[in-house]
C-alpha cells in the first residue's frame, strides 16, 4: 500500500467519514506502512488477511459489512485523491442519486502525468459512442444502454462514491468476473438510480506496465466478461435496435480483436453468449467464422 494513498484519504478537507483499512495478504511493506497510521482518529478498523482472498470483491464485501456510513468510497491502494475529493462529491448528493464520480487523471509509478489507452484522463470523449456532456446529468438508462455496453467509463473505483443500499450482488461479480467486475458493478448501480459526474481532476489513477489491464486485450476471457455485461444490459432494456447493435458489436470484437490462435476452442462458448440475441445473431456468427476461421 502506498503511503501517499493513506495520507490523501486522511487529509481530506471533508471530515465526516470513517476509514477502514483492509490488507489482502500483501507481500511488500504494506503492513509497516499501515501500522504507522494506527491510532489516527479517523481510522476505525484495520484488518490483515492471513491468505490472499483471490478476489477484489471479497475485500469490497468485507469493507461494506464493516462500514457504518450511508455512502462508500473505495480508495484503492495505489491511487491518490485531491484534498477536496470527498468535499466536492458529497456536496452533490441528492435523494435520487446513487453514484457520483469525478474525472480521473492518469499518473505513472512515479506519480508523473501519464496515459492509459491513449488518454490522459477518464472519462474521455475518445471512448464515447455519442457526443456526451456528463455535467448535465444524462439520462442514466440512455447512458447505460448507449455508452456502457462496450466500455467502462469509470476506469478507477477510487474516483467514485456510491450509496451503500444500492450495492449489487458481489458474490455474483466475484464468481463471474476476473477483470471487468467493477464495470458490472457500476452498471448495476446505474440501472437503479441517477448518477452525477464532477468534471474536475480530483482523483489520480496510477497505472503500471505489468498490470492485468495492460495485457487483457490478448486474453479472450475479457471478451466473455464483456459479453456477460452486454447481455445483462440487453436483458434489462430489450428492444430491436439494441439487439442488433449489441450482437454486431460482440461478433465484431470476437473475430477482429482476437486472432485465430487466441480464439481456438472458444467458439461454442461464444455461441452460448450470442444465441440470446436470436437466430440472426447465430447466422452472422457462422458467416464470420467461415471468413475468419
Kindly report, residue by residue over 124-139, the tens digit of the pLDDT. 999 999 988 898 788 8
79 in the same domain as 130: yes
233 in the same domain as 193: no
201 in the same domain as 223: no
261 in the same domain as 136: no
Give the pLDDT confidence score for residue 131 in this predicted structure.
Answer: 84
Give the pLDDT confidence score for residue 25 in this predicted structure.
Answer: 95
Q: Are 153 and 195 in contact (CB under 8 A)?
A: no
184 in the same domain as 228: no
156 in the same domain as 52: yes
150 in the same domain as 52: yes
228 in the same domain as 183: no
Task: Tell me which of 73 and 140 has the higher pLDDT.
Answer: 73
- The total of structural domains in the chain comes to 2
10 in the same domain as 108: yes
CATH of the domain at 180: 3.90.550.10
Give the pLDDT confidence score for residue 213 in this predicted structure.
Answer: 46
Kindly give, in sequence order, each residue whose CB lies less than 8 Å from that of residue 31, ignoring residues fewer than 6 positions away.
Answer: 23, 48
200 domain residue, yes or no: yes
Sequence length of the chain is 293
Domain that holds residue 178: 3-206
**pLDDT digits over 3-27, tens only?**
999 999 999 999 999 999 999 999 9
Quickly tell me which residue has 440475441 as its cell.
277
Kindly give, in sequence order, each residue whose CB lies less than 8 Å from that of residue 237, ignoring residues fewer than 6 positions away.
Answer: 141, 144, 145
Kindly give, in sequence order, each residue whose CB lies less than 8 Å from that of residue 13, ignoring residues fewer than 6 positions away.
Answer: 83, 84, 86, 87
Domain end point (choices 174, 206, 238): 206
Domain end point (choices 206, 229, 260): 206
224 in the same domain as 195: no
162 in the same domain as 67: yes
213 domain residue, yes or no: no
196 in the same domain as 59: yes
Domain end point (choices 206, 241, 263): 206
In whole angstroms, give the CA distance from residue 174 to residue 177: 6
Quickly tell me which residue has 470484437 as its cell.
253
Angle at which helices 181-190 and 140-147 cross, to 10°:
150
214 domain residue, yes or no: no
230 domain residue, yes or no: yes
211 domain residue, yes or no: no
35 domain residue, yes or no: yes
The answer to which of 75-89, 179-193, 201-215, 227-241 has the lowest mean pLDDT is 201-215
212 domain residue, yes or no: no
The dihedral through the CA atoms of 224, 252, 217, 113 has a sign that is negative
66 domain residue, yes or no: yes
Give the pLDDT confidence score for residue 138 in this predicted structure.
Answer: 82
Amino acid at each position: 500500500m502506498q503511503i501517499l494513498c493513506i495520507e490523501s484519504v486522511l487529509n481530506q478537507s471533508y471530515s465526516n467519514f470513517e476509514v477502514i483499512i483492509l490488507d489482502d495478504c500483501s507481500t511488500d511493506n504494506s503492513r509497516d506502512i499501515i501500522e504507522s497510521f494506527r491510532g489516527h482518529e479517523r481510522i476505525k478498523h484495520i484488518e490483515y488477511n492471513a491468505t490472499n482472498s483471490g478476489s477484489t470483491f471479497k475485500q469490497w464485501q468485507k469493507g461494506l459489512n464493516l462500514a457504518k456510513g450511508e455512502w462508500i468510497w473505495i480508495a484503492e491502494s495505489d491511487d491518490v485523491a485531491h484534498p477536496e475529493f470527498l468535499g466536492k462529491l458529497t456536496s452533490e448528493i441528492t435523494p435520487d442519486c446513487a453514484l457520483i464520480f469525478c474525472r480521473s487523471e492518469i499518473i505513472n509509478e512515479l506519480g508523473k502525468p501519464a496515459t492509459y489507452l491513449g488518454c490522459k484522463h477518464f472519462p474521455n470523449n475518445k471512448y464515447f459512442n455519442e457526443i456526451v456532456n456528463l455535467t448535465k446529468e444524462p439520462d442514466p438508462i440512455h447512458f447505460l444502454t448507449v455508452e456502457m455496453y462496450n466500455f467502462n467509463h469509470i476506469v478507477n473505483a477510487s474516483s467514485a462514491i456510491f450509496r451503500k443500499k444500492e450495492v449489487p450482488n458481489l458474490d455474483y461479480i466475484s464468481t463471474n468476473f476476473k477483470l471487468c467486475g467493477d464495470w458490472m458493478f457500476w452498471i448495476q448501480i446505474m440501472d437503479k438510480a441517477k448518477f452525477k459526474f464532477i468534471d474536475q481532476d480530483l482523483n489520480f489513477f496510477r497505472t503500471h506496465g505489468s498490470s492485468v489491464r495492460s495485457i487483457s486485450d490478448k486474453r479472450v476471457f475479457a471478451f466473455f466478461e464483456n459479453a456477460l455485461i452486454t447481455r445483462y444490459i440487453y436483458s434489462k432494456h430489450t428492444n430491436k435496435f439494441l439487439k442488433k447493435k449489441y450482437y454486431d458489436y460482440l461478433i465484431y470484437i470476437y473475430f477482429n480483436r482476437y486472432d485465430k490462435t487466441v480464439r481456438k476452442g472458444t467458439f461454442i462458448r461464444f455461441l452460448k453468449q450470442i444465441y440470446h440475441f436470436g437466430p440472426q445473431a447465430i447466422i452472422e456468427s457462422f458467416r464470420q467464422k467461415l471468413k475468419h476461421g
